[in-house]
Amino acid sequence: SLAELYRNEKRYALIIGNSGYKHIPALRNPINDASDMAMALEDLNFEVLLLTDATYMEIRSAFLKLHQKLLDGLKDQTVGLVYYSGHGLQHDGENYLVPVDAKIEYEDDIPRQCFPVQKIILSNMERSNSRMNILVLDACRNNSFPQITRTVNHGLAEMKTGKGSFIAYATAPGSTASDGVGRNGLYTQEVLKAIEKPGLTIEQVFKEVRINVLRLSGEQQYTWDSSNITGEFYFNLDIPDSLVSQK
């Protein structure tokens, strides 16, 4: 069975949900998104570190803890995942997570107060012993920094991945999605459903998410994936032996 095949796999996740921003409009869903994602991943054998309404230093400290676990993990048996729900932005080709304490008044505030995805998160995960690095970014809300609109592009930029990384975005590069009106944002709502389905590969999970988000948004929100993985990954390993033999 899949459970037997991956019995030695160690799974580590950092989950961040930022809603209560101090200097820009609050968001409805991210804390719920992050809390629900943490519970779902714990049920799927991830060791989870959950942060809500996190400052820059809290994000940095938590990522250092995750990175150390990935460095200490056994090659080919370690998986790392970072999930983020909240405000995000791109600037000069870099994507940033926006901490709740960020006060962005000028262009140079961005690299000083926001947390870089490619430079810190992705690059360090790829230099660890993790066989697969998964980034799930529900961070494509509309720009909440009108004072620097001319220097900040809409949405997130597509990231070029190294070997063994799978990056999932709530919307296509350069586009945005509005905050949801229910408990969860539309994208995270569908991710939570898809990862629970037994025996789906990671590619199948996010294809299902894309189909459902597109349908439920009236074809207004296109999700996006970027991948350079070389192995298989299953969120839910609970699948009958008869189906495994057919793969």
Per residue in 214-240, pLDDT (tens digit) is 999 888 888 999 999 989 999 999 865
In this prediction, residue 90 carries a pLDDT of 85
Surface-to-core class of residue 218, CB atoms within 10 Å of its CB (0-12 exposed, 13-18 middle, 19+ buried): exposed
Spatial distance between the Cα atoms of 143 and 125, rounded to a whole number of angstroms: 28
Mean per-residue pLDDT for 203-211?
A: 97
Bridge partners for 12 per DSSP? 47, 80
Average pLDDT, the chain: 88
What confidence category does residue 143 fall into, taking pLDDT thresholds of 50, 70 and 90? low
Start-end of H helices in 13-81: 30-43, 56-72
User: 92: which residues sit within 8 A by CB, 6+ positions away?
Assistant: none
Mean per-residue pLDDT for 60-74?
A: 97
In this prediction, residue 247 carries a pLDDT of 47
Say what the pTM is.
0.91
Pairing of strands 94-97, 224-227: unpaired
Tell whether the model's pLDDT for residue 187 goes beyond 90.
yes
